[in-house]
Amino acid sequence: MIEIEAVSRAFGGVYANRDVSLAVADGELRGVIGPNGAGKSTLFSLVSGHLRPQAGRIVLDGERIDRLPPHRRAQRGVAIVFQGARVFPGMSVLANVAVGATARTRAGATSAALRLPRHRREEREIFAAARGALARVGLSAWADRDAEQLPLGQQRRLQLARALTARPRLLLLDEPASGLRAAERRELTDLIRELHADGMTIMLIEHDVAMVTSLADRITVLDLGEVIADGTPAEIRRDPRVISAYLGTDAAA
């Protein structure tokens, strides 16, 4: 589904990603791991359009997307859940989630301003999708609460629900379990596993290597902005380059 071909991005002469290449199949769950500063979040920003690569190509379903802005990529089915909880203040949980569906609306500003039938129909569809996404992540009971009142674990679920309302074909999860308690982490792991079982293509960044290896079909390992390993979880656990990157050369020996 997604092909990342020799993508590079530097900041002030220092490469965050350098000649990164990987391909993710339709329906695959791809883990992306690496030490702090390895370039994982930069890679996701390049795929989602929040950063532009300085070299290389990103191809989604045969179409080059690396020159498209984020909203155009969202319309083509790319959704991202950023690291850290992000909610729109002063809005309900339901309204926060409904925002995720705006990328696929077609009525336009004039229709919205005049409250034309097409806009009202889309609005009903958006909120129905938002309620369905909240049910999917177990937050239906919180729909009318102020989003800022949610505990961290529920805020992460809200972000995921917001991404799901866009009906993504490719879901990017950037450290979704960061800061969660053990029980919340297990619940989130189960939810990601269910989405994958339903056929959704997912790329997952997570420092919890055990969580990634329990979920991923394949894992790509970055270090200092470059791919140092790519394979099944079993292959990655045995790879001396991965051991060295995480534990140091002496530990690998």
pTM: 0.87
Average pLDDT for the chain: 88
Q: Is the pLDDT of residue 250 over 90?
A: no
pLDDT for 252 equals 37
pLDDT for 118 equals 65
pLDDT for 104 equals 62
Question: Which residues are within 8 A (CB) of 27 and not within 5 positions of it... i.e. 6 or more apart?
Answer: 196, 199, 200, 201
pLDDT for 253 equals 33
Q: Is the pLDDT of residue 213 over 50?
A: yes
Which H or E element spans position 126? helix 117-137
Q: Which pairs with CB-CB distance under 8 Å and at least 24 residues apart come from 191-199? A: 191/137, 191/138, 191/157, 191/160, 192/29, 195/164, 195/171, 196/27, 196/29, 199/27
